[in-house]
Structure formats: C-alpha cells, structure tokens
Amino acid sequence: MLNDGGSAVDAAIATLICEGIILPHSMGIGGGFFATIYTKSTRKIETLVAREMAPSRSRKDMFVGEQNIQGARAGAVPGEILGYWEMHKKYGRLPWKVLFQPTIKLCKEGHWVSKYLAAAIQSKLTEIRNEPSLSEIFLKEDGTPFVEGDYMKRTQLGITLGKIADNGAGELYDGGEVGKLFIEDIQKLGGIITEDDLKNYKVRWEDTNHIIANVTGGYTLYTTPLPSSGAVLAFMLNVLTDSHTDNEEIYWQRVVETFKHAYGQRTNLGDMENEPDLKQTIEETFSNLISQEFADHIRTLIFDNKTFNYYEYYGANFTHVEDHGTANMAVLAANGDAITVTSTINN
C-alpha cells in the first residue's frame, strides 16, 4: 500500500484486514481497536478509540454467578470496521475499496495455516466442534481440524468484505445487508445486539487526552487513554528509567518486577464511562500510573535479590477476568507519518 502511494493509515488498515483472516483468534472485523496516529508535518498526535461496546439491552450483572460467558450472548457491538472507516476518511489516500482487495483475494484463493492459528484451533477444539458456525470454518470436510501447513479458504468472509469494500462502513452499521444478516445470526444464537446498537455506535477521537511520558534516552512516548493500557506502558517505562545495568541477571530481575507491579495496577483499571461504581478507584489508579512520583515510589519496592509470592504486594485485584486475543502492529511511512494499532476480539 505504501508503494502504491498510500498513507501510513492506508497501509495499517489493509494490514489489519489481512491479519483478521490470518490471525482470526486474535482480531477481526467483529472486534475493536485503539490507534495512535502521528503526522510528522504538523507534529500532531491523535488517538482513536474504536473498541467494542456493550449492547443496549445488556446489564452489568447479567453474567453474575455464571462460569460460562461464551457465545453470542456475550458478544459486544463491534467497532473495527467503523474505526477503519473513520481513520480512512481523515488520513486515507487510496480508495477505500483498494484496501480490501488483497485480503478478499486471500479469502477466495486460500492461505497457509500458521503454527499460531493451528495451536489456537487445537486449544479450542471442543468449543469449535460444539459450535456449527465455528466448525464450518476451522474443521476440514472430514471433520478434522486444520493444522499447520494446511490450506484454508474463507469464501464467505471474502464475500462479506467485498460488500463492505463496495458500500463502506454503512454496510454493517447503517442498515446494509451485512449488518442485517449479522443481527439475524447473532440473535438466532441467543445474542442481544440490535440494529439500533450498530447505528448508535460511535468511535472516539482524542487529540489532547492521549498519554505522554518522557522515557530514558530522551524519547517521548505517546499512547492511548483509558480504557486502553497506555498508562500501564508509560508506568513501566517510567519505573525502568535509569534501571539499566551491565549485570544481566539484575537487569531482568528489575524488568520482571516492574512488569509485575504494572500488571498488578492494571487490574484496578477499567472504563470510567461504563463503570461508574469503580470510577474513583480507576481515576486514582490512572493518576498514579502517569505520575513520576508514584513510579519513583514503586522503584523503592523493587529489590535486586528477592521477589514476593503474594499478589497484594504488587497492588493486584483479581476480581476481574483477563481478556485474551490481541494483535499489535505499527507502520512508519517514508514521509515520517506513523501509526500504531492494538486490535482485539477479547476472548
């Protein structure tokens, strides 16, 4: 895409669409993402929050007491395609349709199954066998799972992407055939997403609320605000300031302990807009994570010769279930423009 005159954002969108079929266990058009965009000519940083949102009919206690939170009922309103659309309107150079063509071709002609996808299929084989909509994708005609080196086609996904390429994001979000079929399928499987949920979904641009951290070496980190973990990344880099040593064992001890403190703090974060009961805790944790004074304090809790086997020492609260399935990418264009994206389908 860059060689064809596209922008960094064009290249990122095309790559993300492709990753959605190569790494479907990590990301895809049913998920959402965070993006940080840098324009060199203006030195401007913008972040985009295009994460999934809970359906309007959901309740915060709807899964209380339930061990199984899989299936269509646990599905959220996807933000991926509308996020691509909004980024392209602002920063794209190539036609929208062009960004989809390489992946549509892969869907129709097929692609090799990587060891990562093969391992993901194997790890969820029971769930795949029990769900026909997954079986028809990840099991071969003889009922055996795809393995590394097999050739996989995604014909139906190619058709779906073709319609979105032709008609824009409205094909999914504003009454298009893809959106109607999506709602029909997910409700048939017990989901609660509605057409109004799709129509009411909005991405969020931030040009002043992103996180900035000065890190070792004279570099400046720009990253995404809540509900992302951008503050966690800034915290880790701030704690590790001046922590380098030629003693490799001590250096990695400091790194690992820093990560443990960071991910302990991460368990106290969330989405303030949708978790009002936790707003005070989230605000306090967020303020701490971007504070140099707090980073200095945590550094005093890290020792070169010992660690701790109780999670409270690291500030962790394990009442929240961790999510899984994420892909990260970065594009740097020849003109100095850049974009980083973290995209996910959660579990």
- In this structure, are residues 299 and 254 in contact, taking their beta carbons and an 8 Å threshold? no
Q: Per-residue pLDDT for 278 more than 80?
A: no
What are the residue numbers of the active site?
326
- Asked if residue 129 belongs to a known ligand binding site, the reply is no
DSSP string, 154-174: -HHHHHHHHHHHHH-THHHHS
Band of pLDDT at residue 275, cut at 50, 70 and 90: low
On average, the pLDDT of the chain sits at 90
Kindly state the percentage of the chain with pLDDT values over 90: 64
Average pLDDT over residues 63-90: 87
Distance of CA 253 to the CA centre of its chain: 29
- Asked if residue 214 belongs to a known ligand binding site, the reply is no
User: Backbone phi, then psi, for 135, in 5-degree steps?
Assistant: -60, -40
Torsion of CA 56, 57, 63, 69, to 10 degrees: -80
Q: Per-residue pLDDT for 173 more than 60?
A: yes
* Extended beta strands in 243-337, E state: 326-332
- Asked if residue 346 belongs to a known ligand binding site, the reply is yes
- Asked if residue 266 belongs to a known ligand binding site, the reply is no
pLDDT of residue 120: 93
List, for residues 143-166, the tens digit of each pLDDT value. Answer: 999 999 999 999 999 999 999 999
pLDDT of residue 319: 54
Nearest to 197 by CA among 77, 81, 86: 77
326: three-class secondary structure by DSSP: strand
List, for residues 311-347, the tens digit of each pLDDT value. Answer: 888 988 765 555 556 788 899 999 999 999 999 887 5
The residue that leads in pLDDT, 224 or 32, is: 32
pLDDT of residue 241: 85
Q: Per-residue pLDDT for 88 more than 90?
A: yes
d(C-alpha 179, C-alpha 163), whole Å? 11
Pairs from 176-181 (Cβ < 8 Å, separation ≥ 24): none
d(C-alpha 35, C-alpha 206), whole Å? 10
Band of pLDDT at residue 273, cut at 50, 70 and 90: low
Going from the N-terminus, what domains does the chain have, and what CATH number goes with each? 8-206+323-344 (no CATH), 212-314 (1.10.246.130)
pTM score, whole prediction = 0.84
List, for residues 200-248, the tens digit of each pLDDT value. Answer: 999 999 887 777 777 767 788 888 887 888 889 889 998 988 888 899 9
Nearest to 221 by CA among 86, 83, 338: 338
Greatest mean pLDDT among 197-201, 206-210, 263-267 lies in 197-201
Nearest to 104 by CA among 60, 189, 162, 173: 162
